[in-house]
Amino acid sequence: MYEDLGSLFGKGFETWKGNLILCGPFILNVFFSILAILFVLMAFLSIIGSMDNLDTFSSEQFLSKIMDFLPRIILAILLAILSVSMISSFFEAGAIGMAKQSLETGKATIEEMWSSGKKNFINMFLLSILTGLIFMVGLIFLLPGIARIPWNQLHALGENPQSLGILLTGLILFIIYSMLISIVLSMAPYALVVDTMGPIKAVKASLGFFRYNKSDVFIVWLVVVALSISLQMIGSSLATASDSMTFQPLSMLTGLVSILVLAPLATIWWTRLYMTRTDKLHEGERLW
């Protein structure tokens, strides 16, 4: 089934209006991620609190104590990153499952979120690691500039325009690389959940999808990114417009709009794009 992007955006919006519950996975993701971060913070504070007589320590003694606890601190941070990543993988898989259900039946359910999340979160977690490694390959663009930085004379970096130019060029190339990877692999999570794929197959499916749908993928990516940046700019403007506390709820509102509206709406658009371009609807089902 093929439909033009105008219809995709319009019908996707109608699907979202009829399934406001699609924001559920994103709310829960934020909630449980914050809990994981608070757990690490409490663990860190308990470590610091276990140091007796902090007031009597010199700066050198305090630093020495911190170094003694450093392995535990690093382990706690790594566990927090791992926990947040797994939580995000679970709810991302659940959100895509709900989007798929809403497109097939017209109604999404929380039960589908738990079902899709449990079935796909390990593969989604492995996919996040795989894509992270792919993004890290782009760091090679920064190496020539980093190698030329006089680390013992950072204050004089501006006096070495050649080294600074190489570093800035590498940074620009890294940003371009990251954007290209973001676009090319944008369909990987949706292929993984809709077709129940493993992470490597999902990456290959995304590459194949992009090969035949370059313009569609780019336009949807551009619309989603433009909306996200617009919300951030509005939030920043509201936050800096006045020191008055009345502006704080307004700036926080943009974050809520991103979670409650933009995230589920974008998930619907991406899922709809994948399903319409790959004909993943079974007999008797239809896109709503």
Q: What is the pLDDT of residues 228-276, one digit of tens each?
A: 998 888 777 766 655 555 556 666 777 888 899 999 999 999 999 999 9
pLDDT at 111: 95
Instruction: Judge whether 233 lies within some domain.
Output: yes
Instruction: Judge whether 136 lies within some domain.
Output: yes
| Cα distance between residue 44 and residue 182, in whole Å | 34
Instruction: Judge whether 15 lies within some domain.
Output: yes
Instruction: Judge whether 270 lies within some domain.
Output: yes
Residue 97 — pLDDT band, cuts 50, 70, 90? Answer: very high
273 contacts 216 by C-beta, under 8 angstroms? yes
Instruction: Judge whether 190 lies within some domain.
Output: yes
Instruction: Judge whether 288 lies within some domain.
Output: no
Share of the chain above pLDDT 70, in %: 78
pLDDT at 10: 93
Instruction: Judge whether 286 lies within some domain.
Output: no
Q: What is the mean pLDDT of the chain?
A: 84
Length of the chain: 288
Q: What is the pTM of this model?
A: 0.84
Structural domain count of the chain = 1
Q: Which single residue is written with the structure tokens 């017209």?
A: 106
pLDDT at 192: 97
Higher pLDDT, 163 or 74: 74
Highest average pLDDT, of 61-65, 69-73, 137-141, 184-188, comes from 184-188
Question: By residue range, what is the domain housing residue 205?
Answer: 5-278
Instruction: Judge whether 124 lies within some domain.
Output: yes
Non-local (6+) Cβ contacts of 198 within 8 A are 123, 126, 192
